Amino acid sequence: MLSHAEITTLLISVGLLLGLARILAEVARRVGQPSVVGEILAGVLLGPTVLGTIWPEGKEALFPSTGGLPAARSALTTLSVTLFLLVAGMELDLTKILKRRRAAVLVSLGGITVPFALGWLPAYLAPQWMGAGEGITPTLFALFVGTAMAISALPVIAKILMDLHLFKTELGATIIAAAVIDDLCGWVIFGVILALMGTQAGHAASAASASAGTQPAVWLSALLVVGFAAGMLTIGRWLINGVLPWVQAHTAWPGGVLGFALVGCVLCAAFTEWIGVHAIFGAFFFGVALGDSRHLRTSTRTTIDQFVSFIFAPLFFASIGLRVNFATNFDLLLVVVVLVIACVGKFTGCATAGRLAGLPRKESLAIAAGMNARGAMEIILGLLALEAGLISDRLFVALVVMALVTSMAAGTMMQRFLGRSKSVRFVDYASGKTFVAPVPGRTRVDAVADMGRIAAEAGKVDVQMAVDAALAREQVLHSGVGHGVAVPHARVAGLSQAVVAIGLSPEGIAWGSRDGRAVRVIVFLLTPEQDARLHLDLLASIATTLRDPATVDLAATAKTWTEFLAAIKTSGAENSSR
């Protein structure tokens, strides 16, 4: 039982950790980086690295190292990472592998073998310097470093591909399929290492009893890991796919499925923890089997995904920063060596394999850049190795830094190799200054003139010219796009950047649109004369965002720019999922 004071401390520390993690994740997102960077930083700030250095008493008060709280924190982070791996597993799409077999297998093979070999060699030759744990044999340590270099991070890669609109392309599918194979192999190998080690640690502890009789236990453990993974991907998948319709048909919706998913995950996790590897293996492979079922509904996926990604994952990653002192354990040379091995290995391996599979040079490089992202998976791998005593704090810090750097670089590099750009959102060109609610004009012409004036003033171009251009265009091409939305447009010479002005009319203005509806949301586009592409992108963004009548309703009744933005931001997610 926790005392009154301990419960208070627990709640404050969870609130602060989660709050700061979310805030810094938002900041990271703003500058185009994965949110995991911000989440880990939250822990670094509140943990031994910063708070513990400048105010040790404060850190100890917030995260006491005695009493019941260390156990409570340990339970919470274990459950959080277990659930995170459930979601990571659910995101693996096994069918993708089957479709893109040749290229994916080649790329993943290249992406595993080359970095593995490059990592294995120095670790085997200089285990002490690389940061092997005490009493760990060079072979085992080198096996781990090789695996750590070979793993990829599906969630980060998937996120980058979505941002670049590559997720559903041929190229995206190849990368995803290769990453899936990489991850599956990597985790199985790591599971075997842990299994071998678990008993090795037992050896070290009771060296006397290290008779030949205990040796089989090591291999039994390793065999159980491989067997469990293989079983989950075959019988487990088939079983879950068969049981799901029954659960959905005969239990409360959606509680039955949610309960089934979580109970299954936790029990599989308990099983793998019991056989001597970590709980997350069970969760991961259960997730793979569950996510593969065609009977799993999107809304179930979304509920689990949202709660885990935005609550449990930040909590877990922030707790990483609490674990070690990132300043004192930062060994620049080791960081550079690890980073170089990791990048050179993945790039050489994947790009060569891509060329062998017959892909063009640019695409091969883009695939390599994507596969190079290590993200959350590397960090979890490192943490488990640290907890198992396999590696030192120094190497752990180097692995975390490598994971973050490779993840941060992947998006930009892929973008460069492919010449792709991120999608345009019309609200990014608008602001509180170009927003007016309600529009003063009561007729179509007056309203267009009002909006033209606001946009021209914001864009610092001649007002009369912009208004005339918009009205002239209105004669030729009617701006009502239906659903109560109108998109008047003026193309102006000498404008440096597009300006979007947004005007609302809660009661509606008769516009003569084809669907006969009065216009309630006016989106005025003022674009540079030469940039025809941008205009089309803006129109596409407006069409996608304001497609849904419920969103238009909500947006039209917004009272402030913030409320309007909130209506737009929450639109897709409100009605569809993901």
List of E strands, 283-399: none
Quick one: which segment of 50-58, 248-256, 350-358, 391-399 binds its own copies (CB under 8 A)? 248-256
Residue type for position 88: A
Give the whole-angstrom CA distance, residue 432 versus residue 492: 22
CB 437 within 8 A of CB 504: yes
Considering the rule CB under 8 A, would residue 440 count as an interface residue with its own copies? no
Quick one: which segment of 137-145, 291-299, 504-512, 520-528 binds its own copies (CB under 8 A)? 291-299
Interacting positions 213-242 with its own copies (CB under 8 A): none
CB 90 within 8 A of CB 154: no
CB 80 within 8 A of CB 315: yes
**Cβ nearer to its own copies, comparing 97 with 257:** 257
Give the whole-angstrom CA distance, residue 155 versus residue 308: 13
**Cβ nearer to its own copies, comparing 3 with 464:** 3
191 phi, psi to nearest 5 deg: -60, -45
Considering the rule CB under 8 A, would residue 31 count as an interface residue with its own copies? no
CB 130 within 8 A of CB 146: no
Considering the rule CB under 8 A, would residue 22 count as an interface residue with its own copies? yes
Instruction: Choose which of 270, 409, 463, 534 interacts with its own copies (CB under 8 A).
Output: 270
Minimum distance from residue 335 beta carbon to its own copies (Å): 27
**Cβ nearer to its own copies, comparing 553 with 563:** 563
Instruction: Choose which of 295, 355, 362, 547 interacts with its own copies (CB under 8 A).
Output: 295
Minimum distance from residue 215 beta carbon to its own copies (Å): 20
Considering the rule CB under 8 A, would residue 394 count as an interface residue with its own copies? no
Instruction: Choose which of 311, 344, 356, 471 interacts with its own copies (CB under 8 A).
Output: 311
Considering the rule CB under 8 A, would residue 423 count as an interface residue with its own copies? no
Quick one: which segment of 13-21, 325-333, 507-515, 532-540 binds its own copies (CB under 8 A)? 13-21
Considering the rule CB under 8 A, would residue 256 count as an interface residue with its own copies? yes
Task: Mark residues 313-352: x for contact with its own copies by CB under 8 A, - for none.
Answer: -x--------------------------------------
435 phi, psi to nearest 5 deg: -115, 135
Interacting positions 551-570 with its own copies (CB under 8 A): 560, 562-566, 568-570
**Cβ nearer to its own copies, comparing 517 with 569:** 569
Quick one: which segment of 92-100, 135-143, 183-191, 264-272 binds its own copies (CB under 8 A)? 264-272
Instruction: Choose which of 216, 246, 442, 515 interacts with its own copies (CB under 8 A).
Output: 246
Pairing of strands 519-528, 485-486: parallel
Give the whole-angstrom CA distance, residue 418 versus residue 546: 30
CB 439 within 8 A of CB 451: yes
Minimum distance from residue 71 beta carbon to its own copies (Å): 3
Instruction: Choose which of 11, 205, 235, 536 interacts with its own copies (CB under 8 A).
Output: 11
Considering the rule CB under 8 A, would residue 61 count as an interface residue with its own copies? no
Give the whole-angstrom CA distance, residue 28 versus residue 38: 6
Minimum distance from residue 542 beta carbon to its own copies (Å): 17
Residues 6+ apart with CB under 8 A from 544: 572
Considering the rule CB under 8 A, would residue 121 count as an interface residue with its own copies? no
Angle formed by the axes of helices 361-371 and 393-418, to 10°?
150
**Cβ nearer to its own copies, comparing 556 with 565:** 565
Minimum distance from residue 182 beta carbon to its own copies (Å): 27
Count of residues engaged in binding its own copies, rule: CB under 8 A: 78
CB 211 within 8 A of CB 134: no
Q: What is the CA radius of gyration of the chain?
A: 28
Give the whole-angstrom CA distance, residue 287 versus residue 86: 4
Give the whole-angstrom CA distance, residue 41 versus residue 412: 21
| Maximum pairwise Cα distance, the chain | 94
Quick one: which segment of 139-147, 299-307, 339-347, 411-419 binds its own copies (CB under 8 A)? 299-307
The phi-psi region of residue 494 (left if phi > 0; otherwise alpha if psi is between -120 and 50; otherwise beta) is left
Interacting positions 446-505 with its own copies (CB under 8 A): none
Residue type for position 413: M
Interacting positions 64-93 with its own copies (CB under 8 A): 67-72, 74-76, 78-79, 82
**Cβ nearer to its own copies, comparing 124 with 307:** 307
Give the whole-angstrom CA distance, residue 393 versus residue 414: 32
Considering the rule CB under 8 A, would residue 58 count as an interface residue with its own copies? no
Minimum distance from residue 410 beta carbon to its own copies (Å): 19
Quick one: which segment of 112-120, 269-277, 462-470, 504-512 binds its own copies (CB under 8 A)? 269-277
Q: Give the residues across from 391 on adjacent strands.
A: 132
- Taking alpha carbons only, the member of 29, 63, 35, 36 closest to residue 49 is 63
Quick one: which segment of 94-102, 122-130, 252-260, 446-454 binds its own copies (CB under 8 A)? 252-260
Minimum distance from residue 302 beta carbon to its own copies (Å): 8
Minimum distance from residue 492 beta carbon to its own copies (Å): 28
- What does DSSP assign to residue 523? E
Interacting positions 358-377 with its own copies (CB under 8 A): none
Sign of the alpha-carbon torsion through 508, 510, 516, 520? negative
Considering the rule CB under 8 A, would residue 205 count as an interface residue with its own copies? no
Residues 6+ apart with CB under 8 A from 272: 191, 225, 228, 278, 279, 280, 281, 282
Q: How many CB atoms lie within 10 A of CB 531?
A: 15
Considering the rule CB under 8 A, would residue 169 count as an interface residue with its own copies? no
Give the whole-angstrom CA distance, residue 277 versus residue 536: 53
Minimum distance from residue 451 beta carbon to its own copies (Å): 21
